Amino acid sequence: MATRKTGTKRDATAVQIGEAAGTATTKGAGPKEATSPSKSPQTRKPRKTGSATLAKQAVNAEEAVNAEKAGKAGKAGKAGKAEQPRAGRWPRVVVFGAGAVGCYFGAKLAEAGAPVTLIGRSTHVDAIRANGLRFESGGLTHPIAIGADTESEPLRAADLVLLCVKTLDTERAARTIAEMAPPKTLVVSMQNGVDNVERIARAAGVDAMAAVVYVAASMPGPGHLLHGGRGDLVLGEYGAPPAGASRATHRAQEVAAVFERAGVPCPVSDDVRAALWTKLVMNCVFNAISALAKVRYGMMVADERTRALMSDIVRECCAVAQADGVTLPSADAMYDAALQLGQAMSPATSSTAQDLARGKRTEIESLNGYVVRRGDALGVPAPVNRSLLALVLLRETGL
């Protein structure tokens, strides 16, 4: 809910809208101790099939798609089923941050009949108002009628807010939502990184849920969404509500049912932190290296020395997660998942690489930077992640 703490300072500062893209997926592989890969990374090349459950799930959404066809919600870790989609009034949905992620999920909801308004930059908003959102997927393109606005005014009537801004803008967005949205509005963070829900609560007392986003999408032109694959979520609560806030018991299931009704697989996780951390590990492995070396994922996993570096990143991330009380699959399984992900997404480049190419600041502080900060706080060294963080920030200073 957009419930505020008493006395919270409100600030309706305009938010620079951005995109929070997702890459890998997991539904959990059961509690395993985080350990180092048992084989030398130089000899462990990408496998077409992996033995670990996580490895299979990190490459594709086959299980989620099959579950959707069977009329069931999938599971994420120790996940609960979403409530069955029900007919009736759709919630009024506002997508705060109309980049590729926000436009994709907003479009899916709008196409199913939900009243959706995208809040974004004028270049996209003007094009969408004139011609609808141009939705391109699988070689086919069609327009989708959807609301669009450059101002935050639609928040005042929102039942559900999908927060899709860059992590750089999390606090400013949270204060705007707290200022303008009704107290009972549900808020879902659909951003990269692990700690956005905590930051939203600290900044504005808003009790948000967290969604782990798995979709390959981009905005190649104004009002033009290019969907490359996937399009599913893992949803859940993140920690206790802010002081003074009340929380509906089944609100995550209710939001998941809205997405399921629109054909978006959306299992509800009892441990969304593990799902967030799993995606974080994949982002830490690929984003910085792809950006710094200006290479695609396929080249990374094909190179022996880069695979060794990827293995080091995975081990550091798993060690920090374990020290932070988050149960992930073994580092061996996570490394295999990363190799398979790189193989499956061979032509891809990271959002970090795209940001640097456009002369924009990146989300590196919420990726490798988060691992470094948590490692420092917990006494766990993360020298490889620290080096990648420093190099990406150095690139940013030259923008």
Chunked in runs of 10, what are the mean pLDDT values of the chain (399 residues)? Answer: 44 28 32 35 42 39 33 37 61 97 98 98 97 96 98 98 97 98 97 96 96 93 94 92 75 97 96 95 98 96 98 98 97 97 91 93 97 98 98 92
Q: Which residue's structure tokens are 């990363």?
A: 338
Q: pLDDT at position 139, please?
A: 94
Q: Where are the beta strands (DSSP E) in the chain?
A: 79-80, 93-96, 116-119, 133-137, 140-144, 147-149, 160-163, 186-189, 209-221, 224-236, 268-269
Give the pLDDT of residue 373: 98
C-alpha 328 chain-centroid distance: 17
Which pLDDT score is estimated for 45?
52
Task: State whether residue 237 is helix, strand or coil.
Answer: coil
> For the chain, first and last CA: distance in Å?
38
For residues 188 and 255, give the distance between their C-alpha atoms in angstroms, rounded to a whole number. 9
CA nearest 326: which of 281, 388, 384, 379? 281
Q: What is the pLDDT of residue 87?
A: 61
Burial class (CB in 10 A: 0-12, 13-18, 19+), 270: middle
- Per-residue pLDDT tens digits for 44-57: 554 433 333 333 44
Would you tell me how many other CB atoms lie within 10 Å of the CB of residue 220?
A: 10
Tell me the whole-structure pTM to 2 decimals: 0.79
Q: What is the pLDDT of residue 62?
A: 32
Q: Could you give the CA distance from residue 205 to residue 211 in angstroms, rounded to a whole number?
A: 18
3-state secondary structure of 363: coil
Secondary structure of residue 280 in the 3-state scheme: helix
Q: Which amino acid is residue 200, in one-letter code?
A: I
Instruction: Please state the separation of Cα 258 from the chain's center in Å.
Output: 18
pLDDT of residue 229: 86
Closest CA to 328 of 290, 367, 275, 381: 275
> Would you state the pLDDT for residue 63?
34
CA nearest neighbour of 253 among 207, 188, 194: 188
CB 246 within 8 A of CB 3: yes
Q: What are the counts of helices (DSSP H) followed by strands (DSSP E) for the chain?
A: 14, 11
